[in-house]
Amino acid sequence: MSEHSPILLAALPELSVDAWIVITGAVTNVACALVGCFLVLRRMSLMGDAISHAVLPGLVVAFLFSGSLSIVPLFIGAAAVGLLTTFLTQSLHQYARVPGDASMGVVFTSMFALGVVLLKKYVSGVHFDVACVYEGALEYVPFAEPVFGLPRPLFTTLVVLLVNLVVLALLWKELKVSSFDESLASTMGFSATAMHYLLMTLVAVTAVASFEAVGSILVVAMLIVPAATAHLLCDRLGIMVILAAGVGVAAAILGYLAGYWFDTNYAGMMAVAVGCLYALAVLLSPRYGLVSTLVRNLRMSLKVLRDDLLSMLYRVEELSSEKPLSPAKALQAVGGGWLAQWGLAGLVRVGQVESRDDRLQLTDAGRNAARNLVRSHRLWETFLVEHLGMPLDHVHEPAHRVEHYIDEHLQKELQAEVDATAGDPHGREIPE
């Protein structure tokens, strides 16, 4: 790395080979993640896959015309083919009524086949390795010819990252609105179609810039997975973009470490790493994760079970029945199972229910809570009959479901609507 240009040489510390690899990976991942967010939101994730395959003939033609692998003609070729792919996919879908996914598949596979044939026919012998397009050559980045003191692949991806950042900053509102609501975009006076093509151009250029460094598979991964991961973690586009970029950087670092540890392909490891990050988000996302959903559902079921036990005991007391309600019977009545046992244990623990001589009994605290529930239940039943005219034998079930969610405020409102002194529609008293 002795050929650094003098100006930047002063600014940049001498970095190790490994640092260059991580930096290049991170820059590429962030560039892809930025545009990827919009792809995922527009449900066009696979457009990234399609474009990154379809650019092959564009690259070959650009190479044939310019006779070199220099970056400008390759970009022009890639952008042109990217737009063509988008346009053909769209037209096939719109005018020839081919289903959207099939039209994408038709276009990019045919383009790729064309690229393979062109490659074989005209470019054989030149360094244009298809396997390399897949796997990338992240390992060789530090040894690439330097441009302004940076390895060339890093320089190109850095430029593309800047372009993406600038476009996103300038057209943030337009991209956002057109991603969520195309018709609104049109009524606000800018073309959703133009935004669509702009985005596809960015995807194509980003993909081509990243190929040399990380290979097409990491491009596809980074266009989709960081954005999908961020989408699981938040509900705001601004945060999603930042998170996606963060996931991209994390994947670069983790992928590098794993690749170093197992001594294998870095780009492949980064793709695996980002896949694992996604899996983690699927499990652990605070809001949409499987674990938190499971916990939420469990707590809900537990609350419902406890409420049901309490109000059942209250009703038994109300009938002043002499027959004791044994724990086993009570559990059976609310559906049984370990969850019911757990719920009953909880009630006993907080001192709302006592279990004496195989007989369940409400404590004073329990009675108050139960009275409140039964009140909610009967108020709701009365309301359904008086105001919605529902038949008597249809109101218990909805009231049974809704009683857990009726708070004090709603109770007051219900009370104002119905005549509570007259008892519920079944003739039972509505407790105070």
Binding site for other proteins (CB under 8 A): 40, 43-46, 48-49, 53, 92, 95-106, 108-110, 112-114, 116-117, 120-121, 130-131, 134-135, 215, 217-218, 220-221, 223-225, 227-228, 231-232, 259, 262-265, 267-272, 274-276, 278, 282, 288, 290
Nearer to other proteins (CB atom), residue 1 or residue 106? 106
Cβ contact 174:191 at 8 Å: no
Q: How far is the CB of 261 from other proteins (least distance, A)?
A: 12
Q: How far is the CB of 87 from other proteins (least distance, A)?
A: 15
Length of the chain in terms of residues written: 432
Rounded Cα gap, residues 300 and 308, in angstroms: 12
> β-strand 359-362 against 353-356: which pairing, if any?
antiparallel
- The two tokens of residue 143 are 């040894």
Amino acid at 296: R
Q: What is the 3-state secondary structure (H, E, C) of 118-144?
A: HHHHHCCCCCCCHHHHHHCCHHHHHHC
Side-chain-side CA neighbours of 154 within 13 Å: the count stands at 23
Nearer to other proteins (CB atom), residue 98 or residue 390? 98
CA angle (72, 86, 208) in 5-degree steps: 30
Q: How far is the CB of 291 from other proteins (least distance, A)?
A: 11
Cβ contact 192:178 at 8 Å: yes
Nearer to other proteins (CB atom), residue 142 or residue 259? 259
Cβ contact 330:313 at 8 Å: yes
CA end-to-end span of the chain: 83
Nearer to other proteins (CB atom), residue 131 or residue 319? 131
Q: How far is the CB of 290 from other proteins (least distance, A)?
A: 6
> How crowded is residue 217: how many other Cβ atoms within 10 Å of its Cβ?
19
Residue in 122, 112, 127, 125 with CA at minimum distance from that of residue 57: 112
Nearer to other proteins (CB atom), residue 212 or residue 307? 212
Q: How far is the CB of 75 from other proteins (least distance, A)?
A: 23
Q: How far is the CB of 200 from other proteins (least distance, A)?
A: 15
Nearer to other proteins (CB atom), residue 246 or residue 343? 246
Q: How far is the CB of 80 from other proteins (least distance, A)?
A: 19
Nearer to other proteins (CB atom), residue 69 or residue 118? 118
Rg of the chain (C-alpha set): 32
Nearer to other proteins (CB atom), residue 68 or residue 94? 94
Q: How far is the CB of 241 from other proteins (least distance, A)?
A: 16
Q: Which CA distances in Å does 420 have to 47, 127, 425? A: 61, 87, 10
